[in-house]
Amino acid sequence: MSYNIVVLDGIYANPGDLSWEPLNEYGDVTIYERTSPDQVLERAANADILIINKIKLGAAEFEKLPNLQLVIISATGMDNVDLDAAKKYDISVKNVSGYSTQSVAQHVFSMILTLYNQVEAHDQSVKNGEWNSDKGFSYLLSTIPELSSKTITVVGYGQIGSEVAKVSKAFGMEVLIVSNHSKHLDDYELVSLEEGFKRGDIVSLHWPMTPEREGLINKKLLRTMKPSAILINTARGGLINESDLTDALKDKTIAAAALDVMINEPPVTNHPLLMLSNCIVTPHIAWASSKARSILLKKVFDHVANFKTR
Q: How confident is the model at residue 310 (pLDDT cuts 50, 70, 90)?
A: low
Q: Say whether 284 is catalytic.
A: yes
Task: For residue 53, give the nearest of 70, 77, 29, 19 by alpha carbon.
Answer: 77
Using the predicted structure, report yes or no on whether residue 19 has a pLDDT greater than 80: yes
Residues 6+ apart with CB under 8 A from 219: 241, 244, 247, 248
- Could you read off the pLDDT of 94-124 as tens digits, one per residue? 999 999 999 999 999 999 999 999 999 999 9
Which entry of 63, 146, 194, 265 is annotated as an active-site residue? 265
CATH of domain 101-281: 3.40.50.720
Whole-number average pLDDT of the chain: 96
DSSP 8-state assignment for residue 212: G
Q: Average pLDDT of 14-27? A: 97
Instruction: Supply the pLDDT for residue 180.
Output: 87
- Could you read off the pLDDT of 280-309 as tens digits, one per residue? 999 999 999 999 999 999 999 999 999 987
* 155 DSSP β-pair partners: 178, 205
- Could you read off the pLDDT of 176-190 as tens digits, one per residue? 999 988 777 889 999
Q: For residues 238 and 284, what is the distance between their CA atoms, to the nearest angstrom?
A: 13
Using the predicted structure, report yes or no on whether residue 136 has a pLDDT greater than 70: yes
Which entry of 236, 242, 293, 303 is annotated as an active-site residue? 236
Q: How confident is the model at residue 86 (pLDDT cuts 50, 70, 90)?
A: very high
- Could you read off the pLDDT of 268-288 as tens digits, one per residue? 999 999 999 999 999 999 999
Using the predicted structure, report yes or no on whether residue 1 has a pLDDT greater than 80: no
- Helix segments in 92-180, DSSP class H: 101-117, 119-127, 159-170
Listed in order, the ranges of the chain carrying CATH 3.40.50.720 are 3-97+290-306, 101-281
Compute CA distances 299 → 23, 76, 101, 173, 235, whole Å: 12, 11, 15, 34, 21
Fold of 3-97+290-306: Rossmann fold (3.40.50)
Q: Say whether 265 is catalytic.
A: yes
* Other beta carbons less than 10 A from residue 283's beta carbon: 11
- Could you read off the pLDDT of 199-254 as tens digits, one per residue? 999 999 999 999 999 999 999 999 999 999 999 999 999 999 999 999 999 999 99
